[in-house]
Chains A and B, each alone.
Chain A
Amino acid sequence: NAGVTQTPKFRVLKTGQSMTLLCAQDMNHEYMYWYRQDPGMGLRLIHYSVGEGTTAKGEVPDGYNVSRLKKQNFLLGLESAAPSQTSVYFCASSYPGQSDQPQHFGDGTRLSIL
């Protein structure tokens, strides 16, 4: 019962470096999401996808890019990391259409930008 798996779990970067966060789900969900969680601010949506090959911007998309080449994978990229991107990043997935299908979350990637 893997559900949503995020890799890596922890990472420290220097300002200006790039990296990619990987999210994989084995529930055959159409929809996938990337959030960031900062103290006192709750979860904020970065980007999301409603199907393979599609992506859309969320609330805080600047400085991030995403790709959904396969239905089960959703990648989040930081092209030039900044200290303001220090956060915990969560991936989630869900079935489309009906709201009684909740979003299922991974356990997060803790990212520090020095």
Chain B
Amino acid sequence: EDQVTQSPEALRLQEGESSSLNCSYTVSGLRGLFWYRQDPGKGPEFLFTLYSAGEEKEKERLKATLTKKESFLHITAPKPEDSATYLCAVQPNMEYGNKLVFGAGTILRVKS
């Protein structure tokens, strides 16, 4: 069974305090791993897609990396506006309809 586990469930950081969020997955074959950001009362907003182990992608203070078993979302010198829930999802190979399997998310709070 395809499964995604995110840790920690919640993370509190001081502004400027770098850290990482973890996404561990088990999947029969990985077509892609997706990171989304979700603000309170809003829908998920796409951040990155990663396809193969060793791949990295960056956007502002965020960098996503991928291994064969997990992905990390590194946040460098976060600001209060980075506070959100970060969701990880996997798309299994040959998955009809491009369906995604989501993790429960990590709630990030950055205090000034």
Contacts and interface: CB of A to CB of B under 8 A. Distances in A.
Interface of A: 4, 31, 33, 35, 40-45, 48, 50, 56, 58, 90, 92, 94, 96-97, 99-108
Interface of B: 4, 9, 31-32, 34, 36, 41-46, 49, 51, 87, 89, 91, 96-100, 102-105
B99 A100 contact: no
B42 A107 contact: yes
Nearest to A40: B104
Given A48-B99, A58-B99, A103-B100, A43 B44 contact: yes
A48 B50 CA distance: 23
Contacts of B91: 99
B97 A104 contact: no
B47 to A, nearest CB: 9
B97 A42 contact: no
Contacts of B105: 42
B103 to A, nearest CB: 6
Contacts of B36: 105
Contacts of A105: 36, 43-45
Contacts of B34: 102-103
Given A33-B99, A41-B104, A107-B42, 7 more contacts: A35-B102, A42-B103, A43-B102, A58-B99, A96-B98, A101-B98, A103-B34
